[in-house]
Structure 1
Amino acid sequence: MSFSSEMTDQQRIAKVRTVVTQAGEDLRKQYPILKHQNFIGAAILVFALVGMAACSWAYAIGFLPAWACVILVAIFASLTHELEHDLIHYMYFKKTPWAHHLMLALVWLARPNTISPWARRRLHLNHHKFSGSEYDLEERGISNGMPWGLRRLLVISDQLMSVYIRPFQMLKMMAQFKEKQPENERKKAVIEQLTGFIPLSFIYYGLWYVFVIYHLVNGVAPLLGQSINWSVALVKAMPTINFLAVIWIIPNFIRSFCLQFISSNMHYYGDIDPRDVIKQTQVLNPWWLFPFQLFCFNFGSTHAIHHFVVKEPFYVRHLTSKTAHKVMREVGVRFNDIGTFKRTNRWN
C-alpha cells in the first residue's frame, strides 16, 4: 500500500512495521551470522567491557591521557546502554536465565548512574504503553515535558536530582505510574522504583558528589582566602576517587547527560495519543548534535525505529535505518523538529 492522505494512522504504522521488519529479515538472509543473536549480544558486551578495561589500564600506566580515557570509556559504555535496552525486551538469552541476568548485572556495572535494569524493565515497558502521557514515568523522570531552565538541566544531569529538586511532583508521577500497573503488582512496582538505585547507583553518586565537592571547594577556598582541613581518611581516599572519576564516573556522567538530553527531546509529551506511534517520537539527528550522538550510540537517529519494531536489536536498527527513515518520513514521522525545544516537547 502506498502512502496517501487517506490512510488511517494504524495503516501508516502497519506500513512502517512491515517495511522495517522485512528489511531486517532481508539483512539476516544476506548475513546469516545476524541470526546468532545471543552470540552477538554477548560479543558486543565483552567488546565494550574489554574496551573500558583497556582504556582504564592505559590511563593507569600513563599511556592514555585522562581526557582521552574519559571519551573512549564513555563511548564503550554507550554500547552497554543499547544492550541493556535490548535485554529489557528479552532479546538475548531469554531461555538461559543465568546468562540473561549476568548480562543485566554487567551492563549496570558498566553504567551505574541509572536505575537497575531489573527495575527499569517495568518502567520501560510502561513507557511503550503510555509514551507521551502523564503515566510515562521513564521519560518524565529524565525531564521530558519540563520547561527549559536550570532545573531541567539538573534533572538531565543527575537521575537522583530528579527526585531532590521536585519531590512532590515525583510522588505524583509515581502515583500515576502505579495506577497503570496490574492491581496485584502495584506494591511491588513501587518498591522496585524506590529501591532501584540500591546499591550501585548510590555508590556511584556518593563518589561523584565527593569528587565534585572536594575539588570545587579546593578551587574556591583559596580565592576567598580560606584553607580547608579535610579529614586524613578523605585525603588518603582521593587518589582512588580521582582514578575512578576518570575511568568510570565522569565517562558515565557525560554518556548519561547526552543520552537523556537526546531522549527527552526526541519524545513528544502531553498532547498526543499514546497509541499513535507516529507522534510518540521524532528522528533527531542534525549534524550539530553529533557530539551528543557520539556518546549515546546515535540514539536520536535510531530510537524512533524501535517504537515501531520493538523486537529488533539495536545493531540491526542501525543497519536498516536508511530504509526505516525513508518509510517513516513518508507516513509523517517528524525529522529534526527543533521547535520541540521551544514547545517543551509538545507536538503542537
Structure 2
Amino acid sequence: MSSTTGLNSADSLKAAKQKDRQIQSELMAVSDRVRNNHPSLVKHQNAVGMGIFLTSILGMVLNGWLYFEGIMPVWMVIVLSAFWTSLLHELEHDLIHYMYFRKTPFWHHVMMAGVYLARPLTQNPWVRRHTHLHHHKVSGTETDLEERGITNGESWGIRRLLMVGDNMLAFYLRIPKYFIEPRRLLKEGKVNHKDLKNLRLIAAASFTPLGTTLYLIWHLFVLFHLANGIAWTLDAQIAWPQWLLAQQDWVTGLVVVLIAPNVLRTFCLHFISSNMHYYGDNRSGIIHEQCQVMNPWYLLPLQAFCFNFGSTHAIHHFVVRDPFYIRHLATKESHEVLRKQGIRFNDMGTFSRANRMHTKEHYAGINEAANA
C-alpha cells in the first residue's frame, strides 16, 4: 500500500479542498477590510504601481551617480540598490498577475521591460509568467520549474548554497538532471510531449544574452579578486596582462551599481522562497500544503532584501488578486487566520528534510494506520 494512501483518499482530498476554501474566504474578508480602509490604493492601483516603479529606478540611478561621483561608499550603493530591486521584484510579480495597466498594454510592457533591465540576472519576465502561473497550479511537485529552479527540494550543503544566489551555477551544477529528468517525467506520464517541448523552450529562453554576459562578468570579477587575495596572503603578486587591468574601472562600476545588488537580492529571495515552499510530499493543488510563513527575527537581514517575502508569500497563494502593498497591510490579521487554520510558522525542520513537509516516520505512521 502506498505511504500516502491515507492522505490521498477521496474523503481526505475533499476535506483538504474544503479547508483551502475556508482559508481563502477568511483571507478575502481581511483583504476586503484593508481595501475598504484604503480605497485610494485600489482606485489608483496603476498609479501606485508606476510610482513605486519610477521611484525604484530613480533610486538605483541616483545611487549609481553618487558612487561615480565618489560620494556614496560601495557597501551603501549595493545595500540600497538591492532594496530598490526587491521592490522591483514585487512589481514584476504583480505584473505577472496583470495587476497594473491590464487595459493599456503599452505601459504594462514598459514596466515589464523596466523591472527586467534593472534586474537582468533574472529570468525574462514574459517567460517567467508561464512558469509562475504553472507554479500556482502545481506548487511542490516535480514540474514546478520556478521553485525547483531556485533549489527547492534539494538537499542542503555547499552545492545548494552556491546555487541559491547564482542562477548560472544552479543550471551548470545540475546539468544531468536537466537532460535526464524531463524524459523520466514523460515516461512516468507526469508530462506529455507538448509539456516537454514547453519545458525546453522555457529553459532556453531563461538564458538571455544579457544575463549570461553579466553572470560571466560577475564570475570573472570574483575569481580575479579571489586570486589577488590568495596571492596577497602568500606575499606574492600576480602579473596580470595590462589589457585585463585596463578593464577594471568599468567592470568594478558595473558590479557595484548593477550586478552585486542583484546578486545580494537574488540570494536573499531564493534562500527564503526555496525554503518556505514545500516540495515532494505535499498534494498537488492543495494550497495549505504548499508553503509556510517564515519570519523569525534572525532572518530579518534576508527579508530586508526580498521585501518581507517569507512573511507574506503564503497569503498570496490563497489570495492572488492583491498587489504586494495591500498584502503587507493585511499581514497581521492574515497571520491570525493562517495560525488558526494550522498553517505552519517557522518550520525550520524544512532544512534537514530537503523541504519535505513530513519526515519518513510520519508516513510510516500513516501506513500503520491504513493497514490496521
TM-score, reference length from structure 1:
0.92
2:304 and 2:323 map into 1 onto residues whose CA distance is 19
* Larger mean Cα displacement after TM superposition, 166-175 or 62-71: 166-175
- Structure 1 vs Structure 2: percent identity of aligned residues? 47
The answer on whether the counterparts of 1:84 and 1:117 sit within 8 Å (CA) in structure 2 is yes
What does residue range 292-307 of structure 1 map to in structure 2 within 5 Å?
A: 292-307=302-317
> Deviations along 1:255-291, whole A, 9 cap, x unmatched?
1001000001000111110211111000000000000
On the 8 A contact 1:48/1:77 being kept in 2, the answer is: yes
Q: State the one-letter code of the partner of 1:17.
A: Q
SS at match of 1:160: helix
CA contact (8 A) 1:137 1:174 kept: no
Query: Is 1:8 matched up with 2:15?
Result: yes
Show the counterpart of 2:318: 308
Match of 2:122 among 92, 111, 114: 114
What corresponds to 2:27 in structure 1? 20
Partner of 2:338: 328
Q: Please give the alpha-carbon distance, in whole angstroms, between the structure 2 residues aligned to 1:226 and 1:167.
A: 37
Which region of structure 1 is more displaced relative to structure 2, 41-50 or 181-190? 181-190
CA distance in 2, matches of 1:248, 1:211: 13
The whole-number CA distance in structure 1 between the counterparts of 2:248 and 2:185 is 40
After superposition, residues 122-271 of structure 1 pair within 5 angstroms as 122-174=130-182, 187-224=197-234, 227-271=237-281
The correspondence for 1:77, drawn from 85, 91, 104, is: 85
Q: In the aligned structure 1, how far is the partner of 2:193 from the partner of 2:175?
A: 24
Where 1:103 maps in the other structure, the secondary structure is helix
SS at match of 2:167: coil
- Quick check: 1:136–1:177 contact (8 Å CA) kept in 2? no
Which range moved further: 242-251 or 73-82? 242-251
> How far is 1:222 from its partner?
4.2
1:277 aligns to 2:284 (yes or no): no
Inter-partner Cα distance in structure 1 for 2:228 and 2:196: 46
Corresponding residue to 2:68 among 55, 60, 64: 60
1:188 to 1:146, Cα distance in 2 relative to 1, 3 A: closer
Alignment of 1:43-54 (within 5 A): 43-54=51-62
Three-state SS of the structure 2 residue aligned to 1:243 is helix
CA distance in 1, matches of 2:180, 2:89: 28
The partner residue of 1:34 within 15, 32, 41 is: 41
Tell me: CA distance 1:149–1:60, structure 2 relative to 1, closer, same or farther (3 Å).
same
Distance 2:27 2:74 in 1: 41
Determine if contact 1:135/1:173 at 8 Å carries over to the other structure.
no
- Contact 1:119-1:193 at 8 Å conserved across structures: no
How far apart, CA to CA, are the structure 1 residues paired with 2:183 and 2:319?
Answer: 29
Distance 2:18 2:164 in 1: 35
Contact 2:60 2:84 in 1 (8 A): yes
Aligned residue for 1:91? 99
In structure 2, runs of 5+ residues without a counterpart are 1-11, 359-372
Q: 1:101 aligns with which of 96, 99, 109?
A: 109
Unmatched runs of 5 consecutive residues or more in structure 1: none
Q: Say if 1:138 and 1:169 are closer, same or farther in 2 by CA, change over 3 A.
A: same
Deviations 1:137-159 (A, max 9, x none): 11111111111111111110211
Measure, in 1, the Cα distance between the counterparts of 2:86 and 2:158: 25
Q: Could you say if the C-alpha distance between residues 246 and 33 of structure 1 is closer, same or farther in structure 2, counting changes exceeding 3 Å? A: same
Matched residue type, 1:282 = Q
Report deviation, 1:200.
2.1
TM-score by length of 2: 0.87
1: distance between equivalents of 2:192 and 2:91?
A: 27
Contact 1:137–1:177 (8 Å) recurs in 2: no
Residues 182 and 196 in structure 2, CA contact (< 8 A), matched pair in contact too: no
State the AA in 1 paired with 2:19.
R
Q: CA RMSD in A?
A: 2.1
Pair 182,100 (structure 1): closer, same or farther in 2 beyond 3 Å: farther
Give 1:81 deviation, angstroms.
0.6
* Contact 1:114/1:197 (8 A) holds in 2: no
* Aligned CA distance change for structure 1 residues 174 and 159 (closer, same or farther; 3 Å): farther
CA distance in 1, matches of 2:330, 2:81: 27
